[in-house]
Amino acid sequence: MEAMGLSAEFWRGKRVLVTGHTGFKGSWLTLWLQSLGAQVSGFSLDPSTEPSLFELARVHEGIKDQRGDLRDLGALLEIIAETEPEIVLHLAAQPLVREGYRDPLGTYSSNVMGTLNLLEAIRQVGGVRACVLVTTDKVYANKEWLWPYREDEALGGHDPYSSSKACCELLAQSYAASFFPADKHAEHGLALATARAGNVLGGGDFAPERLIPDVLKAWSADEPVTLRYPQAVRPWQHALEPLAGYLQLAAGLYERGPEYAGAWNFGPGEADMCSVGEVVELLASRWPQAPGLRIEKSELHEAGLLRLDSSRARQLLGWQARWTLQQCLAQTLDWHLAWQNGDDMRAVTLGQLNLYRGAL
């Protein structure tokens, strides 16, 4: 039996808007919602990589696929008025730490003003009952300590990407307090939450300067992979893990309103808090004659240690990570090899999704 908020019984026929549906996580989420029978509309820029999971898995099939920029308030007002979503899942963003250093203005513009425009469009049009804004585990003022961060810890952000996502958290808090307060829920009808997930893995991620895509690209070319921070510890998880949390959270907001509002962590278990170097070693054990690695020091700051406390999600939503890091890596590698083999990647992607749903 599937967990709360993950059944077709809940999602069938629900009108759902996904921003960033052409991205890596957005593509997995859109396919999942399709498989549950939701009426999905997507609003996003074109896929940012070539190839992309969106194109390979033909995610556009069966949805309203609209391209646009979150910085265009008029376009957001139009699609929300036209599609009348009951639930909004906001994933669109500039998602890369190092790109934030190269283009801080674009990063803040996309992430902060884009989120502000979405919230304003929802406020102006009305009718949305549940909204989940996806941020990141990097919104915390990271003190590099051993203890996992809880949702009430101080926000921060050393680099522009992390800071921009912390700004989104403050935006959500402000709009919730100013326009969607819990004591007036009967009047406005919207419950708003933010979701903070760890470092995600999975088939179909072709983004530059992410660990697994970089490793697979290098080894496929029979070259050693270059690591910048091999000792850095991250909360690794398959993309489907936090996506399950977003779906459960959206259902909770829809059915129980402000009780499920606020910030939520969706991170892996303690055993899957591994260093970058350890992850590469695990992947190498599954890759015959892996060409190895080399270390290239970087002057750009990135967090060295980051852990999440997901107790709230476990206790209130019944959410928990289902796949071990070994399983995550196996599924990611299987997807990649199937793609290299020329397989039908929509079928492969849906097959892995169904395998994950069977573990729920």
Q: Which residues does the annotation mark as catalytic?
A: 161
What's at 138, amino acid-wise? K
Closest CA relative to residue 321, chosen from 352, 348, 360, 281: 360
Q: Cβ-count burial of 183 within 10 angstroms (0-12 exposed, 13-18 middle, 19+ buried)?
A: exposed
Closest CA relative to residue 199, chosen from 114, 302, 287, 297: 302
What's at 221, amino acid-wise? A
Location of structure tokens 């967090």: 303
CB atoms within 10 A of CB 145: 10
Separation CA 158–CA 163 (nearest Å): 6
List, as one string, the DSSP characters of 191-251.
EEEEEEE-EEE-TT---TT-HHHHHHHHHHTT-PEEES-TT-EEEEEETHHHHHHHHHHHH
Nearest 5 degrees, angle CA 65-CA 71-CA 74? Answer: 70
Closest CA relative to residue 280, chosen from 321, 323, 324, 229: 229
Counting every residue, how long is the chain?
360
User: Which residues are CB-contacts of 340 (< 8 A; sequence separation ≥ 6)?
Assistant: 220
